[in-house]
Structures are given as C-alpha cells and as structure tokens.
C-alpha cells in the first residue's frame, strides 16, 4: 500500500490501483491530482482480490462530506454488484463518489444516473469478454488445440534425464545439461511411471 499526499487541503480522497507491482500508477495519480485529490491511496493488486489494504485505508479515512475519487470505476470494483454496494455505502455515510475520466459525480442526480449506466456497461463488457474467451477456447479445442504452456520435458529429454539419473547425476546437473529447471527434472523423475 502506498499513500501520496498533495500540498493542497481538500476533502477529495483518491484511490488508484494497478494489478501488479510492475505496472505504473503515474497516469492515475496525475489524473487524481489534477482532479483535486488531497491524498491518494494506492494498491498494487488485482481487482479480483478482496485483499486491498489501500482501499480499506482510504474508506476508513473518508468522512461525511468527503469525495472518493478514482481514475476509472473499474479501478474500484470489478463487479457491478460490489461497485453499487460500495457507492451506496459511501452515500449512506454522506460521502460522494467521482470518476473524472467517466465524468461521474454522485453529488448530482445526473452523475448518479451516469454512474449506474457506466457500471452496467462495465459489467456487460466483462461478461462479453468472458464469453468470447470461452467460445475461443472451445473452438480451439474442437480443432484439436490444447491450451496452456507447451511442455519443456519432451519424451527425449525425459529419457536422457532418466539415463543421467541412473548414472548418479544430481537433479541440478541434469537440469543444467538439458536446459530445463531443476524442479521440472525432479517432478518428472519422481513421478511414478
């Protein structure tokens, strides 16, 4: 969890999230700063996980009259049900929600309507993507393609590994000689035949 404080005093609290530590939050932080965030909480975790300490901290930090800012609504929640529940909980606490990218501001009736429409569209897009992925996998399977990574332990490498192991070679020596990982060699040789 990271927290960025701006020099201005404001009741706008920002929340940014990226899925991995390799991804940059610069775009989100810059946009939230321009939108007037006095403080920005940052998570480096998937939106699918419920373990988002910065989100929890930002929600605890918010008080009645404050506004929670996110760059886009998909940074906050992935399911429409969770998103609507969270924004409703904020509303019950007297806290507004704003997404500058999507021009959503629940402080206005029009903004609240736009929020519900965008949330529904985001949910529909995720479902369509999931359906397309499943259809693509089914089509590939029907053509005889199997998903996943190709095996590095070919039949030839397995035979060579067994021969080397029978001659007393260690897993490390075998893995170096065959150009595959030690754990792959160990799993293959310890697997019952």
> Is residue 15 helix, strand or coil?
strand
Q: Name the E strands within 54-165.
A: 67-70, 96-99, 104-105
Residue 19 falls in the annotated catalytic set: yes
**Relative orientation angle of helices 171-178 and 182-190, to the nearest 10 degrees:** 110
Among residues 19, 88, 91, 183, which one is catalytic? 19
> Strands 2-5 and 39-44, how do they pair?
antiparallel
What is the rounded distance in angstroms from the CA atom of residue 153 to the CA atom of residue 188?
A: 8
Cα→Cα distances 121→73, 79, 126, 131, 152, Å:
11, 11, 9, 15, 42
**Residues designated catalytic:** 19
């Amino acid at each position: 969890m990271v927290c960025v404080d701006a020099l201005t005093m404001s009741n706008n609290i920002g929340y940014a999230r990226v899925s991995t530590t390799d991804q940059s939050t610069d775009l989100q932080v810059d946009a939230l700063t321009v939108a007037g965030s006095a403080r920005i909480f940052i998570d480096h975790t998937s939106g699918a996980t419920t373990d988002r300490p910065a989100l929890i901290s930002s929600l605890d930090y918010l008080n009645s009259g404050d506004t929670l800012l996110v760059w886009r609504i998909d940074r906050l929640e992935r399911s429409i049900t969770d998103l609507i529940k969270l924004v409703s909980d904020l509303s019950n606490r007297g806290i507004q929600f704003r997404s500058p990218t999507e021009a959503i501001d629940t402080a206005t009736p029009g903004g609240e309507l736009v929020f519900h429409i965008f949330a529904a569209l985001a949910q529909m897009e995720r479902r369509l993507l999931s359906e397309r992925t499943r259809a693509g996998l089914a089509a590939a399977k029907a053509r005889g393609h199997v998903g996943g990574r190709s095996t590095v332990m070919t039949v030839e490498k397995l035979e060579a590994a067994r021969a080397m192991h029978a001659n007393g070679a260690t897993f490390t020596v075998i893995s170096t000689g065959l150009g595959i990982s030690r754990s792959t060699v160990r799993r293959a040789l310890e697997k019952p035949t």
